[in-house]
Amino acid sequence: MGLAKTKDALDTIVGMLSPYLGETMARAAALAHCQKLGIVVEGTEITTDQIDALLRRFGQGLNIFIGREKSAAVVGEIHAAMARAVS
């Protein structure tokens, strides 16, 4: 399995979270989480560890909005979509 472009990975995450959070919040949250984790967005590839850390952060906050069960399901779907994208 290869590495995904960070920007493409974020687009996937934003696309899957937008129905719940709206595109503005999904994108703003993605960029904020990347900044906190020290992930550079432009012109880089994202590692599996970085994706895991990023989705863990997303999931923790998402619990507040849609509950732990739904949050875990959404994060699982994002993981699956990322795996499909890079395989």
Interaction site with other proteins (CB under 8 A): 18-26, 28-29, 32-33, 57, 60-61, 63-70
Q: Which is nearer to other proteins, 7 or 57 (CB)?
A: 57
Q: Which is nearer to other proteins, 28 or 40 (CB)?
A: 28
Smallest distance, Å, CB 4 to other proteins?
23
Q: Which is nearer to other proteins, 56 or 79 (CB)?
A: 56
3-state secondary structure the chain: CCCEEHHHHHHHHHHHHHHHHCHHHHHHHHHHHHHHHCCCCCCCEECHHHHHHHHHHHHHHHHHHHCHHHHHHHHHHHHHHHHHHHC
Which of 68, 38, 71, 73 is closest to 53 using CA atoms?
38
Smallest distance, Å, CB 58 to other proteins?
9
Smallest distance, Å, CB 59 to other proteins?
11
